[in-house]
Amino acid sequence: MLEELKESLVNAPIVKKGNYDYFVHPISDGVPTMKPEVLKEISKLIVKNFNIDVDKIVAIEAMGIHLATALSLETDIPFVIIRKRKYGLDGEKTIHKKTGYGESTLYVNDLHKGDRILLIDDVVSTGGTLINTIEALKEIGVDLVTIIAVLEKGEGKKIVERETGCKVNTVVKIHIENDKVVVDGVVGEDY
């Protein structure tokens, strides 16, 4: 399962961002070209393995957008994007995020107390993005039914779970060794 995704991960180039090993991949960066079959496989795997009984799918701009779109098309569940642009709409919530490779501000709109959501992001690596996002969503009062990071790298998943008390699900677990991505497991198969 996910053979094309696994192969593309193994062949992903590694670049240094300071001391941080950053892999360049269509799931996390939009380059090289994303094959539709990969998004379809990921969506089907998510539907098969995780609770998708939710009102909305929520993704973080920019690299969660294609994942939310594919999952929305697979499930007929609407989605909303946490954006980098401030709109000033009523109820807009601001999130300051810090990761292993940068800082930015995000804005949440059209989420309301009691909304049952599935939060999806591309990668959990250092945990910074998910921790800040989860805390902001808790303040809004949404019901975080399912949290998914498609790719898990490093200790970020454990850090997020420890800091937020929320379970983080992942689809593919990877690590970098000798400047190469190594696939450690795929949900439903290896772990």
- pLDDT exceeds cutoff 90 at 173: yes
Q: For residues 105 and 111, which has the higher predicted lDDT (pLDDT)? A: 111
Asked if 110 contacts 79 with a C-beta cutoff of 8 angstroms, the reply is no
125 domain-assigned: yes
- CATH for 14: 3.40.50.2020
Q: What is the pLDDT of residues 24-62, one digit of tens each?
A: 999 999 898 888 989 999 999 999 999 999 999 999 988
Asked if 92 contacts 68 with a C-beta cutoff of 8 angstroms, the reply is no
191 domain-assigned: no
The residue written with tokens 């990761």 in the block is: 99
Q: What is the pLDDT of residues 2-16, one digit of tens each?
A: 888 888 899 999 998
State which residues form the domain around 138: 3-186
Q: In terms of C-beta density within 10 A (0-12 exposed, 13-18 middle, 19 or more buried), how is residue 176 classed?
A: middle
pTM strictly above 0.95: no
Q: Where are the beta strands (DSSP E) in 111-187?
A: 116-124, 143-153, 169-177, 180-186
Strand partners, 93: 108
E strand or H helix at 102, and its extent? strand 102-108
Tally of structural domains, the chain: 1
